[in-house]
Amino acid sequence: MGKPTGFMEHDRQLPERRPVEQRVGDFREIYRPFAETDLRDQAARCMDCGVPTCHAGCPLGNRIPDWNDDVYHGRWEAALKQLLATNNFPEFTGRLCPAPCEEACVLSINAPAVTIEQIEKTIIEKAFAAGWVRPLPPSRRTGKKVAVVGSGPSGLTCAQQLNRAGHQVTVFERDARPGGLLRYGIPDFKLEKGILDRRLELMQQEGVDFRCGVQAGADRDGPSLCADFDAVVLCTGSTRPRDLPIPGRELAGIHFAMEFLTGQNRVLAGEEKHLAVQAHGRQVVVIGGGDTGSDCIGTSHRQGAAGVVNFELLPQPPVDRPQNQPWPFWPMRLRTSSSHEEGGSRHWNILTKRFVGENGRVTGIETVEVDWIEENGRPVRFEEIPGSEKTWLADLVLLALGFTGPEADTVVAQLDLDLDERGNLHTGDDYMTSRPGVFAAGDARSGQSLIVWAISEGREAARGVDLFLMGRSDLPQKEGADLPRV
C-alpha cells in the first residue's frame, strides 16, 4: 500500500470535463488533463485490501492494487508491466469501461471508490508518450496459420495474443478499416480514432496481417477459410439491431442507431462526405436508454439538433446502490453520461405505441406510461396506465434497443455452427464451436456486452486456439475470480 492513510486524506477526484457549450461544438475527447501529483494522491487512496475485490470485479483480473502502489511511488514502468500483464488495450478500457472494478472497490462500501479507470488510462498514456509501448514481435514462428474474422476489440486481442505466441495471424474485416465498434460505433468524443490507429500500427509492426473489405461468408467462404488456415476464430460481433415493429415503422426518418452513429464516424474519418442521417435542426427522439442511446444523444447535440428526448421502457433506477444488489456486485443504478449532461430530457416507464407522420415522413410518436410489477426487487412485467397517453413531436427517431446476436446466415450457416438459445455462437469452455478448429469470441459468442469482456474473451479464445494447435500454451490464464457479468 502506497500510503496507509491516503483514503482518509484525499477525496475522490477526476479530471474536469470541458464546458458543455465548448465540447458540443466539436467531437474531441471531453476530458481536460489531470495533474500527475493529483493522480498520485488518487492512487494513495487504494487500501491494498487483503482480498482485492476490485481484481475480481474486473473481467480481465487487472492487478489494480499493484499498479496503484507503483503509481504512488512513481514507478511508472513497473505499473505498465503489471497493467499489460492482463490487459492488451488499456487505452480503450481506460476511456470506455464502465469500471465494474470501482463498484467492487472495498472503499466504495462507505466512501467513493478509487478512480481505477483514470489511473489505468494515465499509466498507458504516459507509457505511449515516453515511448515504452513498442511492438513485440514473437521471437520464433510456429508455422501455424490462424484466420481471425472481425477486428473489434475481441478480434484484435485474439490476433495480438496468437501472434505473440508465434502463429501467423490474418485478420479479415469486411469494413474499410479495422476496429469494429471502436471505429464505427463509438463516437470520437469517447474515443478519438488516433488512439485506435496508434495501436493498429503497432500490431502491424508485430506481424499481424489485416485484410479489410473482405467479408467471410461472401468474399471468402467458410470452408475455404478452414482449408487455408489451421484455425479460424469468429469475432464478428452482435450486429443484428432489435427493431420496433409498431404501426408507422415504415415512415421515413426512423433509423437504427448504428446508421446514425456509423455515418457520423465515417464523415469525421473522411470516408464519406455527407451524413445520410442527420439531426441538425430536428426534434430527435432516441428510444432506448443504454450506451448506444447515450451516444446518439451526444452525437445529436454535436450535429445541432433542435431538441433531444430519450425514452426508456424500464423504471428510473435509484441514484444509490439498491439494497437487493449488495456490494461487490454491479448495481443497476442511475448513470448519467457526459452526453446526458449536455442537454435533452430523459423519460422512464415509456412504452412507444405508434409512429405518426405526414407525406410518408415521421412527425410524432404516441406513447403511454407503464407501471412495473416487481418480483424480488426487480421489474418483471408492466401494465399500461390508462389516461397517460401522449403524443410527442419527432422528426428524427433513433432506435437504440440493443442487438439480437450475430448474423447467422453467412459464414455461420456455411460452417453449420451451433447457436445457443439466445442465437449466439455456441462454444465449449475452450471457446471452440461445434466445428473442430473453429472458435468464437466476443459479442458473437456472448451477445452484446462490453469492451473489457471482448478483450477478456479474445484472450481466452487465443489460449484455446494455442492449446488446440500446440497441445500446450504459454499464453497466460485468466487471473482472479469473476463476479457475475455486467
Ligand X SMILES: Cc1cc2nc3c(=O)[nH]c(=O)nc-3n(C[C@H](O)[C@H](O)[C@H](O)COP(=O)(O)OP(=O)(O)OC[C@H]3O[C@@H](n4cnc5c(N)ncnc54)[C@H](O)[C@@H]3O)c2cc1C
Contact present, 312 and 350 (Cβ < 8 Å): yes
- Reduced to 3 states (helix: H, G, I; strand: E, B; else coil), residue 264 is helix
Q: From CA 433, how far away is CA 408, in angstroms rounded?
A: 14
Contact with ligand X (CB under 6 A): which of 102, 120, 443, 460?
Answer: 443
469 binding ligand SF4? (CB under 6 A): no
Q: Which of the ranges 60-68, 162-170, 211-219, 346-354 carries the binding residues for ligand X, by CB under 6 A?
A: 211-219
Residues 229-268, one symbol each (x = binds ligand SF4 by CB under 6 A, - = not), give: ----------------------------------------
When CB distances are held under 5 to 8 angstroms depending on the partner's kind, the choice from ligand X, ligand SF4, none that residue 120 binds is ligand SF4
118 binding ligand SF4? (CB under 6 A): no
Contact present, 463 and 439 (Cβ < 8 Å): no
Q: CB of 441: closest distance to ligand X in angstroms? A: 7
Q: Which of the ranges 18-26, 36-44, 93-101, 336-344 carries the binding residues for ligand SF4, by CB under 6 A?
A: 93-101
Give the H/E segment covering residue 397: strand 396-399
When CB distances are held under 5 to 8 angstroms depending on the partner's kind, the choice from ligand SF4, ligand X, none that residue 96 binds is ligand X
Following DSSP, what letter does each residue of 141-154 receive, concatenated?
--S-EEEEE--SHH
Residues 34-73, one symbol each (x = binds ligand X by CB under 6 A, - = not), give: ----------------------------------------
62 binding ligand SF4? (CB under 6 A): yes
Q: Which is nearer to ligand SF4, 105 or 232 (CB)?
A: 105
Q: From CA 11, how far away is CA 293, in angstroms rounded?
A: 31
Q: From CA 339, how far away is CA 300, in angstroms rounded?
A: 9
Q: CB of 431: closest distance to ligand X in angstroms? A: 12
- 3-state SS of 164-192 is HCCCEEEEEECCCCCCCHHHHCCCCCCCC
186 binding ligand X? (CB under 6 A): yes
Q: From CA 296, how far away is CA 303, in angstroms rounded?
A: 10
Q: From CA 350, how far away is CA 265, in angstroms rounded?
A: 30
When CB distances are held under 5 to 8 angstroms depending on the partner's kind, the choice from ligand SF4, ligand X, none that residue 117 binds is ligand SF4
Q: What are φ and ψ of residue 77, in 5° steps?
A: -70, -35
Q: Which is nearer to ligand X, 45 or 340 (CB)?
A: 340
Binding-site ranges for ligand SF4 (CB under 6 A): 58, 60, 62, 64, 87, 93, 97, 99-101, 116-117, 120, 452
